[in-house]
Structure 1
Amino acid sequence: MTADEAPTAPGDGGAGQSKRPPFDTSVANQARIYDYLLGGKDNYEADRAAVDAVLKIAPELGFTARENRAFLGRAVRYLAAHAGIRQFLDIGTGIPTAGNTHQVAQAVAPEARVVYVDYDPVVLAHARALLKSNEAGATEYIDADLRDTGTILDEAGQLLDFTQPVAVTLLMILHVIPDSDDPHALVARLMDALPPGSYLALSHLGAELLDQQKSEGFQNVVRRQAQQQYIGRGREEIERFFDGMDLVAPGVVRVEEWRPDLDRDEEVKSALWCALGRKR
């Protein structure tokens, strides 16, 4: 099955038109799956069953989820502490847990402003209750699909100043966008609206980072139990998201290899590429 033949991502009504996914606890949900992988409590039996089935096939995916969250923290700290970024646009927020973008950024720069974007009703309910800014900064939530870049930019522009650099984070979201929706063009539209000195951080399922047997088994589970398709993309495709940008060292690497806090000597490897780039 090619990416263009894959089932559309949840909420896609075809031709790039999105609609809200139903709240159905009998069907595994991407945000709740990630929550369970991170040890959260905002999940249901269907989510846990899907994760358990996936981990039997590819146990490294539990490590992958945890390392993705750790990458978020390191990237946001770098952006706030070293790059001087004070504005963040976090798209594909997921269910709030410890170490959210605004918490990391505002620990470095209390005046940091963060706009979260998601379209999942499960995420929406938790975000409005839990994503609270400190008094010096600001935090807002936009109810929108990544494919609706116009809405995202219009609403984010009410809090963020697009004449000043903004960091966009797209973690573990682009691999649910099929090629038919042109994810590279979506990212380009977002970055084109931002000034030079803005940044893009992303993580993405790597086509080469799971062997074929594990990849097929994983895809079968998420297609059957979550009614979703994850589209792995190769390293060169990941680099294309950063056209017009300079990659921050070490470039495109697995999430656990991006400026790790500690030296690692683990045999387990993640299945995610990641990178951080600065707009020229």
Structure 2
Amino acid sequence: MQYFYVKNNVTLQLPHKQHELLPPSLDALATLQIPTKNVYCGNIVWEVIHARETLGETGVVTLPNTPEIQRILPPAITPWSVGHDLVMQLQNIIRNRPIEKRHEPIKLALLNGVGTMLGDTLVGSSAVEIAIRRVTEAIGAVEVHAILAWNARPGTENIMARAPAIAYVQGHSITLDSLCGYDAYWDFSALLRMEGYNALPLIDFYLNNLGIDPESVDSAEKLPDLRLPTALVMEAKSILGEMSQGRKVVLIQGLAYPHLFVRCRKLFLPK
């Protein structure tokens, strides 16, 4: 995870979204006492790049991952392979809560979502659903917010938002202050450098890093769920109806990300 703040207001703009970054007060800048509400964190490289295009190199300040920051962060969920499973980790968090708050739902942040690409997001969001089903069965209600990177491909927000396990999707970085309001977080900010990304089947990579033993999940359950919006289904039916003339059609998108070539366990079509 990375951190930065800006010295002046700046609005980041992409064709499909925008995000306003707010600076600290002049007094805070003068004393370098930057409030956590003005520190942005997560997978923030592209936000820093775009902000510097407007503010210049000195207008954006990146911060080291200091012990002071580490002390105020909620616990990071560790992979199953290096610690306890997800349920045990969350049970420990609940036990450490004040008694009067132990009945409240667990609130989790998913930093960088499950990647910036459509294929990663399709497979990863299905892994999140498997993980949350287990948590719900074991300890009750849980609320997951997906905090996507600024450079996430158009469409990733829609895939994440259609996953029943995801309560909220944000298409830009989170402030450090907001992150500290969660009970725990997964950090997929350095997705490509995470252990197992190129060595494990993608679904197993996600399950392990979500805190689930991949071997404990039935192979049929690992096939991703694909949920399509009504407008897309209607458009596809119209196009395919004209092309197929009653024959079977196989569609191959040669430019698609390789992980899109997966079988789906379920295809959810609107009625």
> Please, what TM-score do these two structures have when normalized by structure 1?
0.29
